[in-house]
Amino acid sequence: MDVILIPGFWLDASSWQQVTPLIEEAGHRVHPITLPGRESVDADRSGIGLRDHVDAVVRVVDGLEGEVVLVGHSGGGAVAHGVADARPHRIARVVYVDAGPLGHGDAINDELPVVDGEIPLPDWSEFEDADLVDLDDDLRAAFRARAVPEATGVAFDPIELHDERRYDVPVTIIACEFPSSAITEWIAADSPFTRELARVKHVDYVDLPTGHWPQFTKPVQLGQAITAAIR
C-alpha cells in the first residue's frame, strides 16, 4: 500500500523520519510530504493557502496507482480530509494523528499569532499542558530548530468540501492529547468541532496517550499504530 504522510504545522517530511521505518518494515511504500512553503525558513510563503496544500497532496495521489492511505498529523489532518473530498475513490483510509476532519467552511486555527505576515512556532507558553506531554527539553529544542513558519492562509482559510463520498472513506483516529472516550462524548453532545467526524460512516479509535507530537515523543508506538490501522 502507498502511504502518504502529511505533517502538521511548522514541520516538513523529515518530521516522520522515526516513524517511516516501521511502516516500511510492514511492506508499505511511504511518501512523507513537505508541503508548499515549508521547504525552508527562507521559502516564499506569501499567497499560500490551505487549497495549495490540499492540491499538492492530490498531485501525489494522482501520481500513484491504486488506492492510497493518507496519514495527517494535526493541521495535516485537514489537508488529508480535503484530499479525501477531492479523490474519495482513491483513498483506502485516512489516519488522523491527534487530529480529525474539518467541516466545510471551518479554518484549522485562525487564532495563531501572526508575525510579519506568517506564523512562526509560538513560545511553548502559548500551548496547553496537554500539548506538551512527554516533549522534554531536548525534544523541544530539536523541534524549534527544525520548525518552519506556517503560511497564514493555511491556518486561516476556510476549507472547501464538495463531495459527500468523503464520508464513505474509513477513518482511524489516533487519540493522543485526549482519550478516544472524550471524542465519542463530544460527538454524542453534538460539539461543533466533531460534527464532520460524526458523519463519517466507519471510524476506528486508537489511544496513544502522549502530547500533540507523538512522532517525536512516541515514534515507535505511532508507527505501530499506523501500521495496524492500515491492516
Cell of 15: 518530521
The Cα–Cα gap between 206 and 131 comes to: 18
The whole-number average pLDDT for the span 24-39 is 98
**pLDDT at 39 exceeding the cut of 90:** yes
DSSP for 67-124 reads -EEEEEETTHHHHHHHHHHH-GGGEEEEEEES--PPPTT--S-TTSPPBTTEEPPPPG
CATH number at residue 32: 3.40.50.1820
Split into its structural domains, the chain has a count of: 1
Instruction: Encode 8-41: b = buried (16+ Cβ within 10 Å), e = exposed.
Output: bbbbbbebbeebbebbeebebebbbbbbbbbeee
**pLDDT at 44 exceeding the cut of 90:** yes
The whole-number average pLDDT for the span 197-201 is 98
pLDDT for 26 equals 96
pLDDT for 125 equals 96
Q: What is the pLDDT of residues 211-228, one digit of tens each?
A: 999 999 999 999 999 999
Q: What is the pLDDT of residues 115-174, one digit of tens each?
A: 999 999 999 999 999 999 999 999 999 999 999 999 999 999 999 999 999 999 999 999
58 is in which domain, residue-wise? 2-230
pLDDT for 27 equals 97
The whole-number average pLDDT for the span 180-195 is 96
The Cα–Cα gap between 230 and 69 comes to: 7
Residue type, position 69, single letter: V
Q: What is the pLDDT of residues 98-113, one digit of tens each?
A: 999 999 999 999 999 9
Look-up: residue for cell 489532518? 77
pLDDT for 231 equals 87
Output the average pLDDT for the chain.
97
Residue type, position 164, single letter: E
Whether the CB-CB separation of 74 and 102 falls below 8 Å is answered with no
Percent of residues, the chain, with pLDDT higher than 70: 100
The whole-number average pLDDT for the span 18-23 is 98
- Give the dihedral sign, CA 206/207/208/214: positive
Reported pTM:
0.97
